[in-house]
């Protein structure tokens, strides 16, 4: 996907809600040892990676050079949506500045999008050593979320380990929508490992 670095704020077609599977991220991340979400006993499964404004072809990023400062009160109110508050700040700089929203407006949208998506019960805490086809994970999300279909999301993996699910939503966050480019970028083929919660 083409990165439109420095594109005008507010110029996008839809949102992508990215929900990371913490155990998978921690298994392949080079920063896992220093990352709080990867600590043994963290108990984290799906966490918010971000809400990304997206174009039908490509995506905008870092739309305001200054990145507008995120007030501490906003981080205090919405920082818990992310595994770490500093990650929330980075998501604002890279993606939030492209929405045309204020920091509080953007994080309110992140919260609304996250609350719109129900995590399937059987995926909330995978048993040790689980393997699954990407389409099986997509179907589980589709069953748990009326109106969501496999072509409206994509599974991301690294080294055949489940990393995250990316779900496409209209700009008003009311409906899921098709997103061919995002769908094509997904992990396809055979089974992937789904590490257990730590």
Q: Which DSSP string do the residues of 86-117 spell out, in sequence order?
A: HHHHHHHHHTGGGTT--HHHHHHHHHHHHHHS
pLDDT at 34: 61
pLDDT at 32: 58
From CA 186, how far away is CA 19, in angstroms rounded? Answer: 14
Domains, in order of start, for the chain: 3-194 (3.90.730.10)
User: Mean pLDDT over residues 136-154, rounded?
Assistant: 95
pLDDT > 70: percent of the chain:
92
User: Mean pLDDT over residues 132-159, rounded?
Assistant: 94
Count other C-beta atoms under 10 Å from residue 140's C-beta: 17
> Confidence band (pLDDT; 50, 70, 90) for 169?
very high
For 6-55, write each residue's pLDDT tens digit: 788 889 999 999 999 988 888 887 665 667 778 777 788 889 999 999 99
Dihedral Cα 187, 188, 190, 195, nearest 10 deg? 20
φ/ψ of 8, rounded to 5, equals -65, 140
Residue ranges in the chain assigned as alpha helix (H): 22-28, 72-78, 85-94, 103-116, 121-124, 134-144, 180-184
From CA 185, how far away is CA 76, in angstroms rounded? Answer: 34
Residue 8 DSSP code:
P
For 55-74, write each residue's pLDDT tens digit: 999 999 999 765 567 888 88
User: Mean pLDDT over residues 161-190, rounded?
Assistant: 94
pLDDT at 42: 74
Q: How many residues does the chain have?
A: 198
Say if residue 43 is exposed, middle or buried (CB neighbours under 10 Å; 0-12, 13-18, 19+). exposed
Residues facing 19 on adjacent strands: 48, 165
> Confidence band (pLDDT; 50, 70, 90) for 105?
very high
pLDDT at 113: 97
Question: Dmax over Cα atoms in the chain, in whole Å?
Answer: 45
User: Mean pLDDT over residues 172-197, rounded?
Assistant: 91
Whether the Cβ atoms of residue 147 and residue 176 lie closer than 8 Å to each other = yes
pLDDT at 48: 92
User: Mean pLDDT over residues 90-105, rounded?
Assistant: 92
From CA 54, how far away is CA 154, in angstroms rounded? Answer: 14
């Amino acid at each position: 996907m083409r990165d439109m670095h420095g594109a005008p704020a507010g110029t996008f077609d839809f949102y992508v809600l990215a929900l990371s599977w913490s155990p998978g991220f921690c298994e392949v991340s080079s920063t896992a040892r220093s990352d709080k979400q990867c600590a043994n006993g963290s108990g984290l499964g799906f966490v918010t990676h971000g809400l990304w404004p997206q174009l039908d072809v490509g995506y905008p990023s870092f739309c305001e050079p200054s990145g507008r400062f995120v007030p501490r009160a906003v981080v205090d109110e919405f920082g818990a949506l992310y595994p770490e508050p500093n990650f929330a700040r980075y998501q604002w700089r890279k993606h939030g500045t492209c929405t045309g929203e204020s920091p509080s407006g953007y994080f309110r949208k992140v919260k609304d999008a996250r609350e719109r998506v129900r995590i399937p019960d059987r995926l909330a805490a995978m048993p040790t050593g689980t393997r699954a086809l990407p389409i099986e994970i997509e179907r589980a999300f589709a069953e748990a979320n009326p109106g969501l279909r496999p072509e409206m999301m994509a599974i991301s993996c690294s080294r055949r380990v489940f990393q995250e699910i990316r779900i496409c939503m209209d700009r008003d966050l009311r409906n899921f929508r098709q997103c061919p480019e995002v769908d094509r970028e997904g992990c396809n083929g055979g089974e992937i490992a789904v590490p257990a919660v730590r």
